[in-house]
Chains A and B, each alone.
Chain A
Amino acid sequence: MNYATRLIHSGKDRDPYTGASSIPIYQASTFHQADPEHLGHYDYARSGNPTREALEQAIASLEGGARGLAFASGMAATSSVLMLFSPGDHLVVGQDIYGGTFRALTTLFRQWKLEVTFVDSTDPTSVRKAVMPATRALFVETPANPLLAITDLRAMVEIAREYKLLAITDNTFMTPYFQRPIELGFDIVVHSATKFLGGHSDLIAGLAVTREAEVGHRLKVVQNTFGAILGPQDSWLLMRGIKTLGVRMEAQQRTAGVLAQWLVNRPEVKRVYYPGLTRHPGHDTHQAQASGAGAVLSFELQDVATALKLLKGVKLPLMAVSLGGVESILSYPATMSHAAMPKAERLARGISDSLVRLSVGLEAPEDLMADMAAALKKS
């Protein structure tokens, strides 16, 4: 089935009892059992809920994996995946990984003796060098936040196969609409579904998809035991969001491309980071593993004062953390997503105080350009 159609008709999208065009919201914590000796498919909603299950089947199908699991947040999904490992296990992790994942690895999981080496995953050689006998997995993100650095997914799979590691990636920025890492051989894909999948800045959710049923079963045990599940209301709303994922991603990407080119030509802008620009580092690699450039771009203004002027002066984009919604969001990595990183480390990675990140929404590109131009013009 073509991808645009799969987005609308994946999973159980019709209710078998009534024919309802939308899956019912099963706001139930427990399920009556017909036979005390043989429990039915659903017993307690932490273990399984029909609404959440419909979402889980949908995302598994969209990512091309064996099993999908829904969690209360992107971090709940990632943390549940990290619980697959044991004390003493070692992970090789991309240094540009999402800040929340970085925090979980360096605080919570460190105290449980999960060892981590952070490497520049855009360079497969340094990834390979970091592999040790205790290494059990690779965890990368591409394009990475906020400089949209590109990691070669096929090269990661090759290293993972060679050393029998689980290959894990965070596919939040691209979504399966543009990039399907499992089809390239990745074992686990995680999402902050709060972003493009949900798409309306109105829910918090996480998803994980496994390539193999066996890994899926192990993660299901974690989901049920740890219990950071997604509730039925949010599961339903997320499925509603996924129905327009294709049209949203196409429109947001189109506008992002227009804005990236416009920013390149602005005198106030020093540099634009967007995988759709041919000069973007890793552009060719990205083209080879994804079918689109996405809708997130970052750009560096000439100086901090200009960056702050833009951030304070815009009227259309929200100044906020998060991304992926129908509303454009402008963020300031220095005080938002990367505030926890030591300044010297942050500057060394190119995340300067004059860098801003733009998540492009569904507004008309003309309106966004006029708004930013007006903000930049203010004295």
Chain B
Amino acid sequence: MTQKISTLLAQAGNRYDAKTGAISAPIYQTASFGHPALGQTTGFDYSRTSNPTRLILEETLAKADGGHRGFAFASGMAAIDTVLHLFQKGDRLVVTEDLYGGTFRLFEKVFRPYGIEAIYVDTSDLAVVRGALKLPGVKAVFVESPTNPLLKIADIRAIAAAARELGILTIVDNTFLTPVFQRPLVQGADMVVYSATKYLAGHNDVVAGMVVTGNSELSERIGFFQNAIGGVLGPQDSWLTLRGLKTLPLRVRKQQENACGIADWLISHAHVRRVYFPGLANHPGRQIQDREGSGYGGMISFEVDEASRIPTILAGVKIFTFAESLGGVESLITYPAVQTHADMVVSVRERLGINDRLLRLSIGIEDMGELIEDLKGVL
């Protein structure tokens, strides 16, 4: 990629419409496309297969991630669901144990009955991952890094290298860091998935998912499933996601700057027992992240000393919104045990550290001092 990512994204969709010169890519709100003649096509036939507005978004993210092709879906779950259709009965996947609850539910409630099995491991432990990759039937490793909500860091480069040697696919959910801070395909992964609802779109106003593939063979297969299953993103939301991408570098850098300050403040608070943030000097994954990525993101989790504080905190915050989701310009606070990870078995959740004293923050682009004041008021 010759251009800097900020240049690429600011210019996304520009110079597309040669007929009018429109700076902003048109929203092609059309289901179908006329054919010039029998046996001829403009390249577009039916919008489930391909739509020009969606294609601009898909091409932009593929470039940003250094990948081969991009694919946009109706939600992050639709994106992951489509990817999992690559596998067949009897196939097994090595999966990050503290992963997003919706992905966990998809593996357990939807794909396990079809005979596709997830083996959950701590992907921040390379030796454990290497061991699991050798289990019979393993066809892929599905990594979230940093994980949700405990922000554990996996060594994606080392995992991808080990998987490649065994002919195993590496799939990375890059929702938390985005191509601005981490580009797994460049580190050797085969595929990247996103909930584009989060940082990519960035304004808490779109639900969308994306996949970027690393080679033409995977592109062909994912393209086939995208069209065959049909969980595609509509033109309006594609356009709005593209509009969000234009300010992605600005937003995530500001969110990270705010998150660093807030994490430092939380550490020294008397009622905070533990802070999870990859940018902290003593975070176990900090070294890997410094070597492999270019940032820590804007997500923080922290444990308070007593669960009885939680209702007061959630009811009392004024700038933070108590809501699920993350990655928007507005700061959000989430209670993982009852919101994002409610589908996880309680004993597993507790063992992972997702207990009833844990809160997760998605830091926005507001003034850092005021976000700290807001937390100070309720802690």
Contact = CB atoms under 8 A, between A and B. Distances in A.
Given A200-B24, A316-B11, A327-B23, A2 B367 contact: yes
A77 to B, nearest CB: 21
Chain B CB within 10 A, most for which of A243, A251, A364: A243
Give the 7 A-B residue pairs with the shortest CB-CB distance, closest first. A364-B4, A2-B367, A202-B24, A362-B10, A363-B7, A22-B205, A5-B366
A325 interface: yes
A348 interface: no
Interface in A349-379: 361-364, 366-368
B365 A327 contact: no
Interface in B222-275: 243, 246-247, 249-251, 254
Interface string A217-257: 00000000000000000000000100110111001000000
A4 B7 contact: no
24 contacts: A2-B367, A5-B319, A8-B329, A8-B365, A13-B330, A19-B321, A21-B321, A21-B330, A22-B204, A200-B246, A201-B23, A244-B329, A248-B250, A316-B7, A318-B14, A318-B15, A318-B21, A320-B23, A325-B23, A326-B10, A362-B6, A363-B6, A364-B3, A367-B4
A9 interface: yes
Contacts of A344: none
Given A363-B7, A367-B3, A8 B247 contact: no
A201 B247 CA distance: 13
Contact of B321 (A1, A14, A247, A363): A14
A248 B328 CA distance: 15
A21 B251 contact: no
Contacts, number: 107
Contacts of B329: 8, 243-244
A318 to B, nearest CB: 6
B311 interface: no
B24 A246 contact: no
A1 B371 CA distance: 11
A1 B370 CA distance: 8
Contacts of A325: 23
Interface in B1-59: 3-4, 6-7, 9-11, 14-15, 21, 23-24
Contacts of B21: 318, 320
Interface of B: 3-4, 6-7, 9-11, 14-15, 21, 23-24, 203-205, 243, 246-247, 249-251, 254, 319, 321, 323, 325, 328-330, 332, 364-367, 369-371
Nearest to B24: A202
B367 A3 contact: yes
A21 B204 contact: yes
B203 A243 contact: yes
A361 B332 CA distance: 29
Nearest to A325: B23
Nearest to A361: B10
Given A247-B247, A247-B254, A364-B7, 19 more contacts: A1-B370, A5-B370, A8-B364, A21-B321, A21-B325, A21-B332, A22-B204, A200-B246, A201-B23, A243-B330, A244-B250, A244-B329, A244-B365, A247-B251, A320-B21, A362-B6, A362-B10, A363-B10, A367-B7
Contacts of A240: 203, 205, 243
B15 to A, nearest CB: 8
Contacts of A362: 6, 9-10, 246-247, 249-250
Interface in A1-30: 1-5, 8-9, 13-14, 19, 21-22
A62 B124 CA distance: 45
